[in-house]
Amino acid sequence: MDFGALIGIFISIVLVNNLVLSQFLGICPFLGVSRKVDMAFGMGCAVTFVITVSGVVTWLIVHGIFQPLGQSLLGDPNALNFLKYVAFIMVIASMVQLVEMYLRKFFPPLYSAFGVFLPLITTNCAILGTCLYIDMKPETQHLLNAAVYAFGGGVGFAIAITIMAGVREHIQFSDVPKPLRGPGITLLVASILALAFMGFMGIGA
């Protein structure tokens, strides 16, 4: 568990295996909330927070509850793995609720700025995906690694959605061919962005 490995994990999940642009997770908020840069950045921050907390908590649940229980009572540490999905969803939903309450109490302007998007993070597949990846990958067997992986996933999402919002803000003023207006040009931009991020492939692998 050296420092270099942590940096490798971070760069890998932020750029090379970017959640949105390489693994195609969390596309709905990526397309839905990327109309304005400040809104997109706020969404990215909220997702980063929830993803980090849920990543750590789910790691703790798997490694602190499921595996010891399975090992000691059933003789197989992976016996309870089928509970992962249910448990993870519960964790994420609870975390989102918690974040919502916290923001409402201490940062009311941020709370009102997020509006309906905050509860919507509950159904963001990037978060559940990250939690499940953490459980699958060999390099995230340690808590710190898992935390860095989850945080990096959030940062990668924030970067992707902010870039997308910046591009879309410019597209509003450009002469888009009529058949491509609206979702068409947005998906095209997303695909070109994804192509660009393919260029990071191979770094640190």
**Could you tell me the smallest distance in angstroms from the CB atom of residue 51 to another protein?**
17
Count of other CB atoms within 10 angstroms of residue 57: 19
Tell me the C-alpha distance between 168 and 166, whole Å: 5
Q: Which residue lies nearer to another protein by CB, 111 or 200?
A: 111
Exposure of 81 by Cβ count < 10 A (0-12 exposed, 13-18 middle, 19+ buried)?
A: middle
DSSP state of 123: G
Cβ distance to another protein smaller for residue 83 or 167: 83
Nearest approach, Cβ of residue 12 and another protein (Å): 30
Q: Which is nearest to 37 in space by CA: 169, 160, 186?
A: 169
What Rg do the C-alpha atoms of the chain give, in angstroms?
A: 18
Tokens of 67: 């595996």
Q: How far is the CB of 106 from another protein (least distance, A)?
A: 8
Whole-angstrom Cα distance, residue 34 to residue 162? 7
Nearer of residues 21 and 118 to another protein, judged by Cβ: 118
Q: How far is the CB of 190 from another protein (least distance, A)?
A: 27
Are the C-beta atoms of residues 54 and 150 closer than 8 Å to each other? yes
* Biggest CA pair distance of the chain: 65
CB of 80 to another protein, least distance (A): 6
Nearest residue (CB) to another protein, 66 versus 133: 66
Shorter beta-carbon distance to another protein: residue 40 or 103: 103
Instruction: Point out which residues bind another protein (CB under 8 A).
Output: 61, 65-66, 69-70, 73-74, 79-80, 82-83, 86-87, 90-91, 94, 97-98, 101-102, 104-105, 108, 115-116
Considering beta carbons, is residue 104 or 142 the nearer one to another protein? 104
As a whole number of angstroms, the distance between CA 29 and CA 19 comes to 12
Task: Report, in Å, the least distance between residue 104 CB and another protein.
Answer: 5
